[in-house]
A = this chain, B = another copy of it.
Amino acid sequence: MAIETPEGYEAFTVETIKNYIASDALLAARVGGAPDQLKTVEVGDGNLNLVFIVEGPAGSLIIKQALPYVRLIGESWPLPLKRSYFEYHTLTRQAAASSDGARVPEIYAYDEANALIAMEYLSDHIILRKGFIQGIAYPRLANDLGLFLAETLFRTSDLHMDTARKKADVALYSDNVALCDITESLVFTEPYQEAELNQWTSPQLDRLVQTLRQDRDVKVAVQVMKERFTTCTQSLLHADFHSGSVMVNQADTRVIDPEFSFYGPMGFDTGALFANYFLAYFSQAGHAQQAGDRDAYQKWLLQTAIDTWATFEARFRELWHSERTGILFPRSLFEDQDDAMGSEQALTRTLRSLFVDTVGFAGTKMIRRLVGLAHVEDMESIEDPDQRARCEANALAMGRELLVSRHQFSSIGQLCDLARSIKNRGVTL
């Protein structure tokens, strides 16, 4: 299918982006200098977009530009530029919703016609996934992400947000059809059937892939999770909350790239993060230089998972008590009737439901990264295919158990016990 370039849209190059910057007074002032003094490099390593780093005498910035097709696949898979519009609006909403607005990059400009966002260049940060692969511990990570998730999810839900504003926002994001479709297909469907784009470490995992597609409990469970995804407008989600969407250093944590954003179930965001903690955990054996030298890091990863949920839950509880101003579980039925206990019971039930969703989506997200189209560098960078397959088989076993038995877990600690037990036992290939 030929791509029709929308009126007024130009896909920039490392050269043409210089004149674009120069033509915008605000952006030009930020980097300083004439076009020929600007240093530009294109670093988009994701699946969809162009990403330029622009550095000038006075400063630097990032230009993220959507292409009218999926970069990973090419022009044969068109994709609406409007995803840039959703990303921009979500970045501004997340900045407003998180108490520390600096958890997302600062936005300098948004150009709707060119599907382009100019934003802060986080030159001192690296992608969290790369940190995981290198075995770097981040002391602020659990706290920063736990708070960010609790605040952005609580404050965009019917527990807090004005209902008319929320309904208008649900309508706005309903148009992010194409990006939801990618998730509906690549996360919830194709890994469980023959599909041209599926990939896995072959032949090592062939038998497990066949077993997965015949696993009735898995298939029913993943469709139940898909139903949650397509019909539950609980909160404004990032909706691609993996370790490639987080940038870190020892002193800071930022969340980027919310172009998949829409109103969905909170557990889809929390689950994605836990999936990526556990994928990183199982991949460590493939990154060890010698046996045991990643043991401490694996321990850190599991503790980080536990700490993330603890922070998330504590902040969610605080917000429940201090900012429950929406139409759900109104104070008029509980606290205002001297029934604080009723409010606590409702909170317990809400957190329980959220935890079950989190576990189910975590399992779903792990599986799709092992046998679907888009894999994770944690595993892909393990060169020895036998070693990689062992790591992946363990992760796949965990993903399956989280998805199918999501109602049987009661804490992240139990998930960590499961991860350790699968690692120690090892899945037979």
Which residues of A approach B to under 8 Å, CB–CB? 158, 163-164, 167-168, 170-172, 174-175, 177, 180-181, 184, 189, 192-193, 213-214, 216, 219-220, 223-224, 226-227, 230-234, 327-330, 332-334, 336-337, 339, 341-342, 345-346, 349
Cα–Cα, bound, A168→B178 (Å): 12
Q: Given contacts A230-B327, A327-B226, A333-B219, is CB(A163)–CB(B184) below 8 Å? A: yes
Q: Contacts of A168 on B, CB cut-off 8 Å?
A: 174-175, 177
Closest 6 CB pairs of A and B: A171-B174, A171-B171, A216-B342, A167-B174, A223-B329, A220-B346
- Give Cα distance in the complex from A181 to B339, angstroms: 25
Q: Which residues of chain B are near A177, meaning CB under 8 Å? A: 163-164, 167-168
CB distance from A52 to the nearest CB of B (A): 32
Q: Report chain B residues within 8 Å CB of A213.
A: 337
Q: Is the CB of B189 within 8 A of A332?
A: yes
Complex Cα spacing A170 to B171, Å: 7
Q: Give the most central of A224, A227, A329, A339: most B CB within 10 Å.
A: A227
A173: min CB distance to chain B, Å: 9
B residues in contact with A224, CB < 8 Å: 346, 349
Contact B230 A163 (CB under 8 A): yes
Chain B CB within 10 Å, residue with most, of A172, A341, A346? A346
What residues on B are CB-neighbors of A184 within 8 Å?
163, 327
